[in-house]
């Protein structure tokens, strides 16, 4: 199997060279091969690269950082920034924050982008860019929560399962609205845009309030008794985030490791075209830098 995977990677590389594919497509194809390669590795090898949060306690001295995709992510980042070819967000090096801290940081990004889109004096072109970024960030955020946060919740008993199911249902409603907005290219001149944005903001703010005021206090208490490390979940959250879909896919399987990366490969190419002319916006940047760009 490993030999087959290596051969497939060589084929992808050869196609990129001989057909002179667009850098965005070549990068996406390579990232996809790496992501699937990690999934196809023997279980014992994957375990050596992963964090099992349920086996770790807060502050464990030998905690291992989850690395979901084989290869040098820093080199990949350089390629993405040079070409503005992908929306892969390179995970920050900070590994001290909990998953709650990181989710709240994402919430702040979304809140800022709503403020940007709702500015009374914002010209249509700038408003559309803010909405493109909003679609991107909420799509990434939803996907990484579904791969990391909600599976962790399911390990916290019946109440955790209820929280996970409720949150996934809320995500589905949000992704359907984001999909409609994406289908009209978030065009401020379209008669549907204002209503869709208002609905997306209403759904998002309600979800944020629920997570920050109810879910995370519950999770902090339950994780301690279950020996589940919130900081280790934060590391996993960061390591998965660069490889999430950047467009909404309401009909896709929720939390699918390979499925999300296949969707992401196509999304990277589409976003390369969408953001190609956006000044001072590098799609390889951390999403936590977006508020300064959006203002």
% helix / strand / coil in the chain, to the nearest 5?
A: 70, 0, 30
pLDDT tens for each residue of the chain, 295 residues long: 444 444 445 434 444 443 444 555 555 555 555 555 544 444 344 333 333 333 323 333 333 333 333 333 333 333 333 333 333 344 455 568 999 999 999 999 999 999 999 988 889 999 999 999 999 999 999 999 999 999 999 999 999 999 999 999 999 999 999 999 999 999 999 999 999 999 999 999 999 999 999 999 999 999 887 778 999 999 999 999 999 999 999 999 999 999 999 999 999 999 999 999 887 665 554 444 444 434 3
- Residues in the chain, total: 295
Q: How many domains does the chain have?
A: 1
Answer positive or negative: Cα dihedral of 11, 13, 18, 20: positive
- C-alpha–C-alpha distance, residues 74 and 239, integer Å: 12
Residues with Cβ within 8 Å of residue 185, at least 6 apart in sequence: 128
- Cβ 204 vs Cβ 110: under 8 Å: yes
| Torsional sign, CA 242, 103, 203, 143 | positive
Residues spanned by the domain of 166: 2-294
Rounded distance between C-alpha atoms, residue 197 and residue 195, angstroms: 6
28 within 8 A of 86, measured Cβ to Cβ: yes
Tell me the C-alpha distance between 166 and 164, whole Å: 6
Rounded Cα distance between 174 and 164, Å, is 15
| Nearest Cα residue to 51 out of 230, 205, 184 | 230
Can you give the pTM of this predicted structure? 0.70
């Amino acid at each position: 199997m490993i030999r087959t995977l290596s051969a497939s990677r060589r084929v992808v590389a050869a196609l990129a060279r001989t057909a002179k594919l667009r850098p965005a497509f070549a990068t996406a194809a390579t990232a996809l091969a790496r992501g699937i390669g990690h999934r196809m590795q023997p279980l014992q090898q994957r375990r050596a690269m992963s964090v099992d949060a349920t086996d770790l306690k807060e502050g464990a001295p030998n905690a291992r950082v989850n690395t979901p995709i084989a290869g040098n992510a820093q080199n990949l980042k350089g390629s993405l920034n040079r070409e503005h070819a992908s929306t892969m967000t390179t995970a920050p090096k900070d590994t001290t924050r909990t998953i709650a801290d990181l989710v709240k940081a994402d919430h702040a990004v979304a809140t800022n982008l709503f403020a940007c889109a709702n500015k009374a004096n914002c010209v249509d072109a700038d408003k559309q860019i803010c909405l493109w970024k909003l679609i991107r960030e909420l799509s990434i955020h939803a996907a990484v929560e579904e791969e990391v946060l909600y599976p962790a919740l399911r390990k916290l008993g019946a109440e955790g399962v209820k929280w996970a199911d409720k949150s996934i249902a809320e995500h589905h409603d949000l992704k359907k609205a984001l999909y409609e907005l994406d289908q009209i290219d978030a065009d401020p001149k379209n008669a549907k845009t204002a209503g869709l944005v208002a609905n997306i903001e209403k759904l998002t703010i309600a979800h944020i309030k629920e997570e920050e005021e109810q879910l995370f206090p519950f999770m902090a208490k339950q994780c301690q008794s279950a020996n589940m490390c919130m900081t280790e979940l934060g590391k996993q959250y960061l390591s998965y985030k660069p490889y999430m879909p950047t467009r909404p896919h309401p009909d896709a399987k929720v939390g699918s490791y390979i499925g999300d990366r296949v969707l992401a490969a196509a999304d990277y190419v589409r976003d390369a075209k969408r953001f190609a002319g956006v000044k001072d916006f590098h799609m390889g940047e951390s999403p936590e830098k977006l508020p300064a760009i959006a203002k």
